[in-house]
Chains A and B, each alone.
Chain A
């Protein structure tokens, strides 16, 4: 965060209100988008709003760099009476990530929506997109356990319908969206139930207050079950194995804008909240350790192996990427489960890396989809000749996913392995190695088809995507490359996040 310390991007009066403006901006923008006379205006609103949210997120990051933690009491009531936003380095990092992806997605939506969503739906679609953005930003900023549920729902309710809109391209989006809704709601309800148990034991909903009271409580079955339900509920949202059943269909079926945005942010925000609860709210002691090393680590390892294998055997490109997402969530959680500063920072770094590369990959697939209706790996044969720039960006994202040196994905895997070695957990190293190998296989399959085969029936009609699509695609792919060479910025942010969480930098 040191780089942000000298950063004053907004006047002081605005900076003081920046934490809430990050959330309220997209909310108001969503209203403006819904009121817009046409899709074009709604798109402009979407762009302006997302850019505003990013601006405010940068302002917040600057404040966090200077003051470590920002508390913002809503309604002027100090917590625990009122709801407070509480932002530390991890929250600021997440908000920067979500808002940047939000801007890229908004930019991308200008052309991407035209080919996938009927024109008359554009205003409501943009409105739903901004609500989703506001929901995730609220989720990472709030310091109140119940308020987090409200934002979980703000980000979800509209998203279910946004995923279902993908039916125009593939009717399987409908049952996938329904599944997503059922799983998502069960997850959110389990989360509320868990928060209810914690509330029963502590009498408060504010996370800081809750943590203080839990620390003095000792063993209590309600507290243990409460924490278990909270993590299980968030686990559904984070697509933690084996609660990931909703993800492949939803990511594969949704319009590409929604796939891009969800793949890069949705599971990440839920993982963020899991980290928050495990390291900030859970009382120190055996329970948390048992959870991390006996439940989280094995499940994450299973996700890495099983879902990578599924990705290897999958035929459709979007579904490969979706299964890969579940496996990558496993990688992230493996890092978190080590619970050492090095492990945590590897996990968070991996999270950022994965958001950038998966965003780029889904965006590239959407870029191809503008001109051709390609689904399977075979359909993508030789597409690099017809649409070289999109294919190049896809290649960069895929390389990062596969962990090729000089990409961010390589650094992420490297730090994960070294963190695992440091703790002496050799089996985790083995899982990482197998998982990376499997990743290389499915990534290689896609790249081989795209770059080294003669154009198939689908690819012949492929054309290069317009600049409006290529620009955000290049930014995301470029970041994966740049941070692979010079990772000063993400590393400093991740290190600050980890020291905010556990009090020690790696």
Chain B
């Protein structure tokens, strides 16, 4: 085995992990919330790079758009609304957590010594089910990206649950921030004067490109890194950018709050609908091999899907296509709902302001 390549890889791994620890310590130390949030964004980007080194391309993508992207937006929106000053520090509050943390840490170190070595190809994790996926995907699913195959088909039920979690978060944020006199009151349009002209022109150029990129990520998910979650978050960035540059009022006029909520619902309905259709056609829930009755499957011209490993898995291909579309709809609409919740909230009671 080529030692040099492996050592470079392992060296990068160690360097990035040390960087993460350093950023973590900085987050723990800082009293400024803004600094902590920006450090959190850095942490996510650094861990995205680390994830690439770990061959987790899909996860790296997600961490970059979710961790560094939408989480930072939500955190910034929240500190704008709570108008918190610097974090107060009380040394008496640090003793009990320190003891707790050392206890948990001790247990963890004890546990870690029982794990197989890092990178061991013969460890139970890498030898059992994980390896079976790598071997069987080509025959059973027929998409090159094994992560997509496992995510959307083998463990498609988990992914349904995950989509529902996103949907539930949208409901939660809407219940908290979407109602009452303070909600959906856009602040004064952000850009009115001419000095924002560069921003406006750039945004106008960028917004369609962002949407286009989202669809690329969506439909390329079978072949490379990407998929509904990443694409959904990216797609949500388009209206968010629009709201930031042109003001929330215009964005809500174009994409009304209720409509966006309905789209989030449609995504979950589409996903579970695929499952129900499979059931009606005689298979189990989410068994995409039964997505089309045989009579329909016979009518699909061969070669329609380009160049998959095994062209006969129409059900799997279309099943994955539809459920990823459901994921896209729910994630994008929920992210916009969450953004509406935070951005549309008035920091002070209307009328009470100066």
* Residues of A near any B CB (own CB < 8 A): 17, 20, 24, 27-28, 30-31, 34-35, 72-77, 80-83, 118, 120-121, 124-125, 127-128, 131, 134, 138, 144, 146-147, 150-151, 153-154, 157-158, 160-162, 164-165, 197, 199-205, 213, 220-226, 228-229
Contact = CB atoms under 8 A, between A and B. Distances in A.
Given A77-B154, A201-B124, A222-B114, A158 B168 contact: yes
Contact of A74 (B108, B110, B168, B286): B286
Given A162-B175, A220-B114, A74 B125 contact: no
Nearest to A206: B129
B256 interface: no
Contacts of B132: 81
B102 interface: no
B164 interface: yes
B125 A228 contact: no
A77 B174 CA distance: 37
B154 A82 contact: yes
B161 A150 contact: yes
A117 to B, nearest CB: 9
B141 to A, nearest CB: 10
A27 B175 CA distance: 18
Interface string B119-138: 00001111111101100100
Contact of A138 (B161, B265, B279, B289): B161
A165 B176 CA distance: 7
A147 B157 contact: yes
B116 A200 contact: yes
Sort A-B residue pairs by CB-CB distance and give the 9 closest, nearest first.
A203-B128, A225-B111, A161-B172, A221-B114, A203-B124, A222-B114, A76-B287, A150-B161, A158-B168
A157 B129 contact: no
B138 to A, nearest CB: 14
Given A73-B284, A144-B158, A200-B116, 8 more contacts: A17-B279, A74-B287, A76-B290, A128-B175, A154-B164, A158-B171, A199-B125, A203-B125
A225 B108 contact: yes
Contacts of A153: 161, 165
A69 B107 CA distance: 36
Q: What band does the interface of chain B fall in when counting residues whose beta carbon is under 8 Å from A? A: 35 or more
A85 to B, nearest CB: 9
B261 interface: yes
A81 B149 CA distance: 12
A225 B127 contact: no
A31 B124 contact: no
Contacts of A35: 262, 265
Contacts of A121: 175, 179
A131 B171 contact: yes
A157 B168 contact: yes
B155 interface: yes
B265 A31 contact: yes
Nearest to A155: B168
Interface of B: 107-108, 110-116, 123-130, 132-133, 136, 140, 153-158, 160-162, 164-165, 167-169, 171-176, 178-179, 261-262, 265-266, 268-269, 272, 275-276, 279, 283-290
A224 B112 CA distance: 11
A85 B175 CA distance: 32
B161 to A, nearest CB: 4
A74 B157 contact: yes
Nearest to A228: B107
Contacts of A28: 269, 272, 276
Contact of B172 (A76, A80, A160): A160
Contact of A34 (B115, B171, B284): B171
Contacts of A228: 107
A200 B124 contact: yes
A124 B171 contact: yes
A34 to B, nearest CB: 5
B113 to A, nearest CB: 6
Listed residue (B161, B269, B279) with the most chain A CB atoms within 10 angstroms of its CB: B161
A222 B115 contact: yes
Contact of B283 (A76, A201, A220): A76
A17 B281 CA distance: 12
Contacts of A223: 114
B175 A161 contact: yes
Contacts of A17: 279, 284-285
A364 to B, nearest CB: 26
A113 B203 CA distance: 44
A81 B272 contact: no
Listed residue (A164, A221, A223) with the most chain B CB atoms within 10 angstroms of its CB: A221
Contacts of B114: 201, 220-225
Contact of B136 (A73, A81, A164): A81
A404 B127 CA distance: 57
B59 to A, nearest CB: 15
Contacts of B176: 161, 164
B275 A24 contact: yes
A75 B268 contact: no
B172 A197 contact: no
Contacts of B161: 138, 147, 150-151, 153-154
A134 to B, nearest CB: 7
Given A34-B265, A76-B289, A221 B158 contact: no
Contacts of A151: 161
A80 B129 CA distance: 7
Given A128-B175, A200-B124, A81 B133 contact: yes
Contacts of A127: 171
A245 to B, nearest CB: 13
9 contacts: A24-B272, A34-B171, A76-B289, A76-B290, A131-B167, A153-B161, A220-B114, A221-B111, A228-B107
A31 B275 contact: no
A229 B283 CA distance: 37
A77 to B, nearest CB: 5
Contacts of A134: 164
A225 B110 contact: yes
Contacts of A150: 158, 161-162, 165
A35 B270 CA distance: 14
